[in-house]
Amino acid sequence: MHVMIIGAAGMVGRKLAERLARDGQLRGDAIASMTLVDVVTPESPAGFDGQVSLQIGDLSQLGVAEGLVARRPDVIFHLAAIVSGEAELDFDKGYAINLDGTRYLFDAIRLAQQADGYRPRLVFASSIAVVGAPLPYPIPDDFHTTPLTSYGTQKAICELLLSDYARKGFFDGIGIRLPTVCIRPGKPNKAASGFFSNILREPLVGKEAILPVSDDVRHWHTSPRSAVGFMIHGATIDLQKVGPRRNLSMPGLSATVGEQIEALRRVAGDAAVALIKREPDEMIMRMCAGWAPGFEATRARELGFTAETSFDEIIQAHIEDELGGSL
């Protein structure tokens, strides 16, 4: 079994590589090799017995996708993207990487399929940004995609391409519509949604964090651990059961900022909560109003995708995975 992760230097990509290294197998087959790809050098996961190839490559550059597909991975996780804030600021770059890059990859696989019957499992990381306000709560599985950002547009287009290429038999594809990943470890990236993680991650280690929105803002979350679990399940699941509608809204936890804060209080006490500084930001509040409050995710749950059911669990997962198991 040869597994490729494109976008392996990103947060979910890195954790996915670590999980695969730890498991040593996927779908019951031993993982003999991993190819890890990103625009910066990915890290080799610790404790992996197989071969690791680290590749630097930008899918939007001609020939890069063909080079990767020439390695004939059995499973491809495609997580590479530039984030929403950057895609909104740089229209050309967003479309080049998030749309054209994905299409180059899909077409390289299609040509390989037509050449020698190659047909990998392809797991694509999509996003809840494919929907846009006004939104019902919860959002049903059959709700239309009306993104209000270029990033969301690009993800929605890639979902459509994925379904069509899968329908034509070019690959065994599945699209995983990820909730906002919380608690993100490390430093904030350019995502405007960073505060959802900051207000928990920073106080857990005694640091201040800024909350730019009101406590009643409701959003849709999943832990990094569950996000990785969705990817693994997407690589494993019987696609006959999924049928032609290949893009699934993942389960997650719908919670308000106030509920996040109360979970922090239960886990880390009043002193931690006191480190959250309220500094309302009109721009972020306006953006928030368009974000998804939560999904039904009925199909994904029925297909065996699972997620946390309380923010206490999400915080606990962070303490175990990032803070050595205790505060």
Q: Which two tokens stand for residue 76?
A: 């491809």
161 touches a second copy by CB under 8 A? yes
Of 106 and 220, nearer to a second copy (C-beta) is 106
d(CA 170, CA 316): 41
Phi and psi dihedrals of 85, rounded to 5?
Answer: -60, -45
Residue with tokens 């392809």: 122
Among 60, 102, 145, 198, which residue sits at the site for a second copy (rule: CB under 8 A)?
145
User: Of 48-56, 161-169, 189-197, 314-322, which segment contacts a second copy by CB under 8 A?
Assistant: 161-169
User: Of 56-64, 155-163, 203-211, 296-304, which segment contacts a second copy by CB under 8 A?
Assistant: 155-163
Of 157 and 182, nearer to a second copy (C-beta) is 157
Beta strand 29-30 with 25-26 is: antiparallel
Among 22, 27, 207, 245, which residue sits at the site for a second copy (rule: CB under 8 A)?
245
138 touches a second copy by CB under 8 A? no
* Residue closest to 319 by CA, chosen among 235, 201, 232, 216: 201
The sign of the CA dihedral 246, 250, 251, 255 is: negative
User: Of 32-40, 158-166, 209-217, 280-288, which segment contacts a second copy by CB under 8 A?
Assistant: 158-166
Find out whether 149 and 290 touch, Cβ atoms under 8 Å. Answer: no
User: Active site includes 104?
Assistant: no
What pairs with residue 295 in β-bridges? Answer: 139
d(CA 173, CA 150): 23
190 touches a second copy by CB under 8 A? no
The secondary structure element, H or E, covering residue 312 is helix 311-322
Among 117, 144, 240, 282, which residue sits at the site for a second copy (rule: CB under 8 A)?
144
Q: How far is the CB of 133 from a second copy (least distance, A)?
A: 9
Per-residue binding letters, 93-132, with a second copy (x by CB under 8 A): ---------------------------------------x
* Residue closest to 10 by CA, chosen among 37, 31, 35: 37
The secondary structure element, H or E, covering residue 233 is helix 224-236
The secondary structure element, H or E, covering residue 56 is strand 51-56
d(CA 3, CA 7): 13
Of 136 and 280, nearer to a second copy (C-beta) is 136
Of 171 and 195, nearer to a second copy (C-beta) is 171
82 touches a second copy by CB under 8 A? no
Residue 6 amino acid letter: I
The catalytic residue among 95, 104, 118, 151 is 151
Q: Which two tokens stand for residue 150?
A: 């270029």
3-state secondary structure of 210: strand
Q: What residues contact residue 238 under an 8 Å CB cut-off, 6+ apart?
A: none
Of 159 and 202, nearer to a second copy (C-beta) is 159
User: Of 45-53, 148-156, 186-194, 224-232, which segment contacts a second copy by CB under 8 A?
Assistant: 148-156
91 touches a second copy by CB under 8 A? yes
Of 48 and 170, nearer to a second copy (C-beta) is 170
146 touches a second copy by CB under 8 A? yes
Q: How far is the CB of 114 from a second copy (least distance, A)?
A: 10
60 touches a second copy by CB under 8 A? no
164 touches a second copy by CB under 8 A? yes
Find out whether 13 and 38 touch, Cβ atoms under 8 Å. Answer: yes
Of 45 and 132, nearer to a second copy (C-beta) is 132
Find out whether 179 and 308 touch, Cβ atoms under 8 Å. Answer: no
Catalytic residue annotation: 151
Interface residues toward a second copy, by CB under 8 A: 91, 132, 141-148, 150, 153, 156-157, 160-161, 163-164, 167-168, 244-245
